[in-house]
Chain A
Amino acid sequence: MLHLLRHPILRRLVQAFFVAFLLMVFAFLLIRLIPGDPAMILLGDTATEADLIAYRKLLGIDGSLLEQFGRYVFNLARGDFGISIRSREPILSIVKKRLPVSLWLTATTIIMTVALALPLGVVAALCRRTWFGHAFQIGASLLVATPVFFSGLVLVLLFAVQTDLAPIAGYRPGFPGNLYSLWLPALTINCVLTPVLARILQSSIIETTDEEFVEAAIIRGTQGWRFYWRYLLRPSLAPTVAALGYFAATVVSYSVIIEIIFNLPGVGMTLVDAVRNRDYPLVQGIVFLSGLLVVSLTFMADLVNGWLDPRAKIR
């Protein structure tokens, strides 16, 4: 059994499962972090003892800690994430209802990031000593440091208030009509993501240029697209793809703020509402699910990474 662990992909898988298990423990402990009795906080001082007991049962905080954990794991295994104490709806069905908006936002963002960062990074690497290279450096530092909730408002001011290229807020479902309400939010997140990714790509292309196989290709007379793709871009893509995997966490993070600014009814907005309403089980469920999403995306990025660049050993 143990010799199987030597296989890098399997080892990564086991690690991912271990991390997922710990995420579960964290999510479990989250409700237990509340100072005082959550049932008392939610119901107030006037609640009767019977109400309190019923509420504790609803929150899954009755019985010993070990018992609670056992029940929690058992329910998760059945796909039962608990019930929202506000709407009394199963958490999984709430998330399922809100997830499409968030996924569309994430997909639009990532596609836009790749579309913008790829040419920018390549040009910035090839013209790094010209005015463009310097402007890129300065512009990138300024953009990365600007908080998304400010750049988002400025973009709304520019594109939705001054012109009507985008709605000020709101979401209309259905592809491709939803892109009209998604491109500005996606652009906002890209104010941070694109410069970071372009910079990673730029520096890895610069590193690749110094490799011997590039020199050999030049000496052999390789030219044109074949040269750029095979000898410059493809070997430089691995760190970029890895970064894209880690960006998933950043996108999920930022989309919380973005969904509020642009009034998109996604998972992020649900989370903020849940925090405002003290809907503890819903908060717990979303925190766990988003952690799980990030772990699996990171794992997939690692796989793609190994395929793109055979030099990169999966750790």
Chain B
Amino acid sequence: MTGGLRVWRQLNAESRWGLAILLSILALSIFVPLLSPNDPYGFVDLPLQAPSTAFPFGTDHLGRDLLVRVFAAARLDIALAILGVSVPIALGTFIGTLAGTTRNRLAETVWDGLVNALTAFPEIILVLGIVAMVGADIRGLLIAIWISRWAQYARIARAKSLALREAEFVQAAHVLGYSRLRILSRHIMPNVFSEAIAYALSDFIFIIVIIGGLSFLGLGVRPPTPEWGAMLAEGRLYLRTEPWLILCPGFFLSLTAIGVALLARGLERISKGEEA
């Protein structure tokens, strides 16, 4: 706990706001579905009720409690986004470090083209293409994100490890006769990771938008599973008369993204050594 306090003191205003927003959404997503008597999947009362004290966010077109659904969705969306970010970090960093430490000219040229080609695809279209082939469900969505997002991390890792392979401590490890694998995993990878994590925060926003976006298109998480994008797609039909059906999930989806963005910007400023 005191460790948490110490970290909090080192943060600037932006990252504090970001962290506070994210922690509250996280807490709400855990406690609201836990404490509420209503089931996110079950019928509770008349459909399409306006927000009231009994149902703070109103009820949806199937008479389900929107409050519980919004925060059940928060849990799923955040979990999926974390899953979506973590695999590309590991994969991309590993591939990028390998590419950065090889001294083969041909491999470098092919590598450049490969990463450029992968990043030349418009992101959502590439994800859609892969989803079309693998399957339009949560599994397909995650696989598509993993395939399409590793290249950026690989790029970062390669640039960093190109610089690192000339560093003195890496040269020292070579002189000591350590194996290439050991140098890669114990000396280069940890240093590369710190930079990848910084990028991961901004990637997190993008991935949450992709998960929501594809589910909005009906090609990711499917109803009745509570997911922000899917809820927006359902609520869209009642835009004219019951706008809270899109405003509530949309607000928390945006708030999550904004929280991450604030945290990312704040941390970036701290690492640059700017004053809060």
| Docked pose: A185 CA to B117 CA in angstroms | 28
Known: A147-B254, A154-B250, A252-B122. A257 touches B132 (CB 8 A): no
A142 contacts the other chain (CB 8 A) = yes
Q: B131 on the interface (CB 8 Å rule)?
A: yes
Number of B interface residues in the complex (CB < 8 A): 46
Question: Interface size of A by Cβ–Cβ distance < 8 Å?
Answer: 52
CB of B124 within 8 A of chain A?
yes
Q: How far is the CA of A49 from the CA of B233 in the complex (A)?
A: 40
Q: How far is the CB of B261 from chain A (nearest CB, A)?
A: 4
Bitwise, A272-315 to B at CB < 8 A (1) or not (0) is 10111010100110110011001100100000000000000000
B258 (CB) vs chain A CBs: closest residue? A145
Contact between chains at A22 and B213 (CB < 8 Å) = no
- Residues of B within 8 Å of A146, CB to CB, are 254, 257-258
Report A-chain residues with C-beta under 8 Å of the C-beta of B217. 256-257, 260, 272
**Contact between chains at B113 and A15 (CB < 8 Å):** yes
User: In chain B between 191 and 242, which residues have their CB closer than 8 angstroms to a CB of chain A?
Assistant: 205, 208-209, 212-213, 216-219, 229, 232, 236, 239-240
A271 touches B232 (CB 8 A): no
Contact B265 A141 (CB under 8 A): yes
Contact B123 A142 (CB under 8 A): no
Q: How far is A18 from B112 in the complex, measured between Cα atoms in Å?
A: 10
Do A249 and B120 touch (CB < 8 A)? yes
Closest Cβ of chain B to A277, distance in Å, is 9
- Bound Cα distance from A286 to B126, whole angstroms: 10
Asked if B250 and A275 make an inter-chain contact with CB atoms under 8 angstroms apart, the answer reads: no
- In the complex, what's the smallest C-beta–C-beta distance from B153 to chain A, in angstroms? 18
A280 & B239 in contact (Cβ 8 Å cutoff): no
The answer to the question of B136 belonging to the interface, with a C-beta cut-off of 8 Å to chain A, is yes
Q: With contacts A30-B133, A276-B136 known, what are 20 further pairs, Cβ within 8 A?
A: A19-B113, A23-B117, A23-B121, A142-B258, A146-B254, A148-B213, A149-B232, A157-B239, A168-B239, A249-B122, A249-B123, A257-B124, A257-B216, A275-B131, A276-B218, A283-B128, A287-B121, A290-B121, A294-B120, A295-B120
Could you list 17 A-B pairs, sorted by A, with CB under 8 Å? A18-B113, A19-B116, A23-B120, A26-B118, A146-B257, A147-B212, A149-B212, A150-B253, A153-B239, A154-B246, A157-B239, A253-B125, A260-B216, A260-B217, A283-B128, A283-B132, A291-B122
| Chain A residues proximal to chain B, CB less than 8 Å | 15, 18-19, 22-23, 26-27, 30-31, 33-35, 141-142, 144-150, 153-154, 156-157, 161, 168, 249-250, 252-254, 256-257, 260-261, 271-272, 274-276, 278, 280, 283-284, 286-287, 290-291, 294-295, 298
Closest CB pairs A-B (n = 7):
A22-B117, A150-B250, A253-B122, A287-B129, A145-B257, A253-B124, A275-B132
